[in-house]
Structure 1
Amino acid sequence: MTATFIEWGMDSGWAMIVSAIIGSLLIALPLMLAVAMIIYVDRKVWASINLRRGPNVVGPFGLLQSFADGLKVMLQETIIPSAANKGIFLIAPVVTFTVALAAWAVIPFDAGVVLADINVGLLYILAISSLSVYGVVMSGWASNSKYPFFSAMRASAQMISYEVSIGFILVCVVLYAGSFNLSAIVEAQKGHGFGIINGYWFNLLLFPIWVMFFISALAETQRVPFDLTEAESELVAGYQTEYSSMSFALFWLGEYANILLMCSLNTLLFWGGWLPPLDIPVLYYVPGIIWFLLKTFFFFFMFSWVMATVPRYRYDQLMRLGWKVFLPLSLFFVVAISGWLMFTRYGVAA
């Protein structure tokens, strides 16, 4: 895109800026539309599992329900508690929303279809996702209310705990792929299983790693059964209790953008990204972005399925799972996978 603008006679500096803005909008605007639609899908899945109808009035089949909810939120008054720290109170949802969008800059939707194809894309994802805890802590502290404050402490401990395990899980993927670049990780999965299956999920050493990653993703995004930060019986609505209008909506947009991010990472790291499930030439006639979206949607369905069927954990169970189960297991697999690769991939050269 930058080269095209330069050919049109634009200065190289302005061409880079304009192309970056256009690329950002091409990701942000469809992502916001996708967030609106997956909220609808989320509610429909819950309703189906609970034998209810779900949204079915606003628009055909209820498809416009999310937009009606968004309009309702926009028309509400923004109420700031009198004892709150107003500056931090208003900045917190902006931080959560901005961080959720920034992570999508390195997500490849297809071969070459990525805003920033950097060599350390996986490290960028890990760094950006860890910043989301700041928005939660800022909102809980600035609200000057005990329920949001308790929720912010719970959320920060929970997110930090599972980020440690996710870090070691990503190390296992990097060891197999030999790169931090997300596009290179996807390409390394081509024909990984029996020379025909595209994806690391088929690997006996990496399949347990994917299971841990999926569960850790649920905890990282505070979804059931790990939604202790929004436990109504204890914390009313969690760190969002004192928020209303668009500030409340920004939290929800950021939360669902993070959920979609985790679904896409499941796709990219373990299930072949934009590659078809099998390395068969005829399947490559389907555009890669279609395979990517189908896989991502499948993982979002799994997120909704878990939310509608699994009971909530106690907080001590949640922390025990993170520190006493996932952390030792992920460390064990780092050692096992590195040892296996040393003996199989690099043993002959040594």
Structure 2
Amino acid sequence: MVELWDAYLWPLIWIVIKILVIVVPVLVAVAYLTYMERKVIGSMHLRRGPNVVGPFGLLQPFADGVKLFLKETVIPSSANRAVFLIAPMLTFFLALIAWAVIPFGEGLVLADINVGVLYLFAISSLGVYGIVMAGWASNSKYAFLGALRSAAQMVSYEVSMGFVIITVLLCVGSLNLTAIVEAQRGMWFVIPLLPMAVVFFISTLAETNRHPFDLAEAEAELVAGFNVEYSAMTFALFFLGEYANMILMCGMTTILFLGGWLPPLDIAPFNLIPGPIWFFIKIVMLLFIFIWVRASFPRYRYDQLMRLGWKVFLPMSLAGVVIVSAVLVMFDLLPNVPAVTG
């Protein structure tokens, strides 16, 4: 029995504990991101935002969660019930499992795999399936149009994101996210790769269907788009998935360009603050820009969205790969990658 506990049960329990240590704070962060968004946009509009439930409105996210949990889940009579219910769960789970490879600090990562970037890119690419399934299963013209828009939009901007990530990988020589952060000890990549960082961040706005690229949920023409037929907890899962993806994309931007958990200067008092705190601060700053963009810019037309993705960002990211490669080769700056032995 002792051998069974040491060999199987305790490692399993320990993994579950580590997963909960990541998932619970992420869900709390998602809840308070909605509060932050409403407060920040309220300040920009010169109004108060949530201020009734709890002190300063701090309990408003939990009140919203309880309300959605207690509501009746309405499934359209002509919908495909199985796919209709699986779609929001798929979107939510994909938003959570991507956090498995995100390093919060030195050694603070659930799975420090050598292909962490590839894992993240694969998970983010799968996100479109939940939206397409929701649009098709709803048996609604508006939902289906929103799903098609989202699929085209996410595929278009993933291409540019992929080339931008390649420029970072050329500078590091590794797909490991911890190695990418460690390579920025002397200088964050946002300084030499500033155009690529801007392209990546704007692409994350499109990837998460956020303003000004929220064409999949355009209220004016699609009445909320792919999730128009969803209610109660099924809608809440889409909502949680979208905001968890926002935090994830900000985490990716932080790791790739802002030095992850590294302080801006390796001197006191900056290096006295723990790494995970720096990681959190950088993510909050990027999330503030997400919200700021939503409050400031009008929604793009769909042809403008596609033109930006294919005629502006794609050539820029391709040129970035060529220029970064040429500079690294010309000045002999290619990272030393250990040879793989068979």
Q: Which amino acid aligns with 1:288?
A: G
Scaled by the length of structure 1, the TM-score of the pair is: 0.93
SS of the residue aligned with 1:10? helix
Partner of 2:293: 306
Distance in 2 of aligned mates of 1:306 and 1:32: 23
Kept after mapping to 2: 8 A contact 1:143/1:242 = yes
Q: How many residues align?
A: 334
1:121 pairs with 116, 125, 133, which one? Answer: 116
The offset of 1:233, in angstroms, is 1.0
1:172 pairs with 164, 167, 176, which one? Answer: 167
Distance in 2 of aligned mates of 1:70 and 1:280: 43
SS of the residue aligned with 2:52? coil
Kept after mapping to 2: 8 A contact 1:191/1:278 = no
Q: Point out where structure 2 has 5 or more consecutive residues left out of the alignment.
A: 337-342
SS of the residue aligned with 1:122? helix
Runs of 4+ displaced beyond 6 Å? none
Q: Point out where structure 1 has 5 or more consecutive residues left out of the alignment.
A: 1-5, 193-198
1:233 pairs with 190, 202, 220, which one? Answer: 220
Which residues of 2 match residues 328-343 of structure 1 at below 5 A?
A: 328-343=315-330
The offset of 1:303, in angstroms, is 0.3
Distance in 1 of aligned mates of 2:132 and 2:225: 11
Distance in 2 of aligned mates of 1:231 and 1:346: 46
Partner of 1:27: 22
Per-residue CA deviations over 1:142-162 (Å, capped at 9, x if unaligned) read 000000000000000000100
Q: Which amino acid aligns with 1:61?
A: F
Q: CA RMSD in A?
A: 1.4
Q: Which amino acid aligns with 1:187?
A: E
Scaled by the length of structure 2, the TM-score of the pair is: 0.95
1:287 pairs with 254, 274, 278, which one? Answer: 274
Partner of 1:48: 43
Distance in 2 of aligned mates of 1:209 and 1:279: 25
Kept after mapping to 2: 8 A contact 1:77/1:245 = yes
Distance in 2 of aligned mates of 1:114 and 1:37: 23
The offset of 1:128, in angstroms, is 0.5
Kept after mapping to 2: 8 A contact 1:101/1:257 = yes
Distance in 1 of aligned mates of 2:268 and 2:181: 17
Per-residue CA deviations over 1:276-335 (Å, capped at 9, x if unaligned) read 011225422110011000010000000000000011100000011001111111011101
Kept after mapping to 1: 8 A contact 2:205/2:290 = yes
Partner of 2:189: 200
Q: Percent identity between the aligned chains?
A: 60
SS of the residue aligned with 2:5? coil
1:13 pairs with 8, 15, 23, which one? Answer: 8
Q: Which amino acid aligns with 2:128?
A: V
1:62 pairs with 43, 57, 66, which one? Answer: 57
Per-residue CA deviations over 1:97-126 (Å, capped at 9, x if unaligned) read 000001000000000001001111011000
Q: Which amino acid aligns with 2:45?
A: N
Partner of 1:323: 310
Distance in 2 of aligned mates of 1:343 and 1:14: 54
